[in-house]
A = this chain, B = another copy of it.
Amino acid sequence: MSPRGTSPTIVDVAREAGVSIKTVSRVLNHEPGVHETTRDQVLKVVEALRYRPKQSARSLAGGRSFLIGLLYYDPSANFVGSVQQGATLRCRELGYHLVVESLHNDAPDLRQQIDRMVMALRPDGMILTPPLCDNPEVLAALRDSGTPCVLMSPERDIRSVPSVRMDDVHAAEEITNLLLSLGHRHIAFIKGPPDQSASAARYQGFVNALQAHDLQPDPELVQPGNFTFASGRDAAHKLLSGRQRPTAVFASNDDMALGVLAAAHRLGLNVPNELSVAGFDDSPTAALVWPPLTTVRQPVVEMARMAVEMLVTGPRNAVSAPVDETDLHRVLPHELVVRDSTRAR
């Protein structure tokens, strides 16, 4: 049973079970057309010998590696952590394994790095996270290699390339509705960087919710930001020392919301009594600050599970009916996380 000693092979199982290796293979791969008695017998021997087929042999002979690749850029992002969590779990259930590669989005030899991985490992599918899933070079390399991909939260969907995402617009609407329902009417909004589609989507949700209440965003209460702590803090300083102070701030991500919290503390403003603050992302820090942040949790773990599933049970197993575009682009439900940083005014 030691892989470095003499672990059993399919031949051992076949001999012990009194069948051919082909039959053992059939049982192991859940192929139909094996007599139940035979199947049971084989499974018993497999169990007794603690036999596990060797991935390299399966891969070489069958052309499937049982490997899913995960390409990511920012190692510190908790997003990636959750992706892996969901992906490795689903992989395990499906008999696959996850190979990860940390790439620089602007590395000069990006293409070569990807080619090397694809050629060596032949992963059966690849999961791409932002910003790599929006990098044309990455997409091209993978397309040329014929590796199936799923994009996680890409900037925009690509025809015929599967993707998984959440609904930023609706989530931002919900946060805004929460603040409105708490009685807030002067709600500030801190935007994300203009080159990220999530920024526009979240702002759109904010506007939608206001308009549904016959309100318009106050231009003075809408500040630019770039998803960093510092940009949130600076925007908050402007907002909170302006002539008409908002009673609530919706920062379109958590890092900026933390900046708002810091600015409020410095200005001696009590959150949530004098100012409500909401974020977006449910970063690990969001629950650790004072007061804990009201925010939106992306269903990242579920998205990753879904991505693996689309890859594994994808083109190969699907009936070859014309693929439905809506099936290709999945939207998973998010979750509003109401904590102590928001309060009725």
**A→B interface (CB under 8 Å):** 1-5, 7, 50, 52-57, 59-60, 65-67, 75-78, 80-82, 84-85, 88-89, 92, 97-102, 113, 115-122, 144-147, 229, 255, 258, 261-262, 265-266, 284-285, 288-290
Contact = CB atoms under 8 A, between A and B. Distances in A.
A170 to B, nearest CB: 26
A85 B78 contact: no
Contacts of A77: 81
Contacts of A59: 56
| Main secondary structure on A side of the interface with B | helix
Q: Copy number in this complex?
A: 2
A237 to B, nearest CB: 12
A255 B85 CA distance: 22
Given A255-B288, A290-B266, A146 B5 contact: yes
Contacts of A102: 84-85, 88-89
Nearest to A51: B119
A266 B340 CA distance: 14
Nearest to A91: B101
Given A60-B57, A76-B78, A119 B289 contact: no
